[in-house]
């Protein structure tokens, strides 16, 4: 069985692995010692095998809806695989677990932010009202399918957002690689791409081992090394050509990163070149 959560949800929604019956967890007290109880609603889907949960017998493709504050207490006897979806206030949590008869294994886990229209909240409210009536119906099943479809939309949106942010980061990096000699700053680059300086920093923290200033200095210093090796330019000219208006700062930064001054770096390179001829 594959463990791709989006693929599993799509199969449940499209009927390749159709949902059977929607059950409701208990809200009665006292709560059993080994029960799972949280302050957010959950959905448990049996993907393979079967589970006993209190008085319920959950079979393959059955769904258990657990409202906020309610509890469930699965009795793992036979091998079974479940998909759990936790509807937190800020994000959804997805996890696939497998009981092989000996141990419980975590097969997959994902989180995605709850963004956009409050479709999911309205569907959860409708399921909570059905839970109060303790009445499973075709309508309840359709609401559950709609909720799973909403979860799929959020997962796909997250993938697209990640792809867009990566493409944006690559464009910003190309801009720096091309315009390194200009008076670049975090603010000016952010303005050029119509984003905030904080979001620019976020992109570098997420996609690069270096921060914005570190990456900019890295590019400029690499260009400076190339100029020192290939051209008989003054150190001050090299500094200005690589975007450093202050040649003293350039020299300090160059030494910090290479343990040599620009002049020493050039002499050592040429002496090594001469020795190999």
Domain span(s) for CATH 1.10.10.60 in the chain = 213-276
Distance CA 195, CA 181 (A): 22
Backbone angles phi, psi at 100, to 5 degrees: -95, 10
Top-confidence residue, 73 or 162: 73
Per-residue pLDDT at 93 exceeds 60: yes
- pLDDT for the residue numbered 162: 66
Q: Is the pTM of this model over 0.85?
A: no
Per-residue pLDDT at 277 exceeds 60: no
Tokens coding 271: 């002496």
Helix (H) or strand (E) holding 162: helix 138-179
Per-residue pLDDT at 116 exceeds 70: no
Top-confidence residue, 65 or 164: 65
CA distances from 55 to 23, 24, 68, 84, 101 (A): 11, 11, 20, 20, 21
Helix (H) or strand (E) holding 147: helix 138-179
What is 213-276's CATH topology?
A: Arc Repressor Mutant, subunit A (1.10.10)
């Amino acid at each position: 069985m594959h463990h791709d959560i989006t693929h599993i949800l799509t199969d449940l929604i499209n009927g390749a692995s159709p949902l059977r019956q929607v059950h409701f967890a208990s809200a009665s007290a006292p709560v059993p010692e080994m029960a799972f109880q949280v302050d957010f609603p959950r959905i448990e889907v049996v993907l393979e095998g079967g589970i006993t949960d209190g008085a319920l017998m959950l079979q393959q493709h059955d769904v258990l809806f657990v409202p906020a504050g309610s509890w469930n207490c699965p009795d793992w006897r036979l091998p079974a695989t479940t998909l759990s979806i936790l509807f937190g206030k800020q994000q959804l949590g997805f996890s696939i677990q497998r009981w092989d008869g000996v141990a419980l294994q975590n097969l997959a886990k994902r989180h995605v932010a709850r963004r956009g229209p409050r479709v999911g909240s309205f569907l959860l409210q409708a399921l909570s009202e059905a839970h109060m009536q303790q009445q499973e119906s075709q309508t309840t099943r359709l609401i559950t399918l709609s909720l799973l479809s909403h979860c799929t939309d959020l997962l796909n949106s997250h993938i697209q957002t990640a792809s867009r942010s990566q493409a944006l980061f690559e464009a910003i990096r190309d801009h720096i690689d091309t315009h390194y000699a200009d008076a670049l700053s975090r603010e000016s680059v952010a303005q050029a791409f119509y984003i905030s300086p904080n979001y620019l920093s976020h992109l570098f923290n997420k996609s690069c081992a270096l921060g914005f200033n570190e990456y900019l200095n890295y590019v400029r210093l690499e260009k400076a090394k190339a100029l020192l090796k290939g051209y008989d330019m003054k150190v001050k000219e090299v500094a200005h050509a690589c975007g450093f208006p202050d040649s003293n700062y350039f020299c300090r930064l160059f030494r910090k990163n290479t343990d040599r001054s620009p002049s020493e770096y050039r002499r050592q390179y040429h002496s090594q070149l001469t020795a190999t001829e």
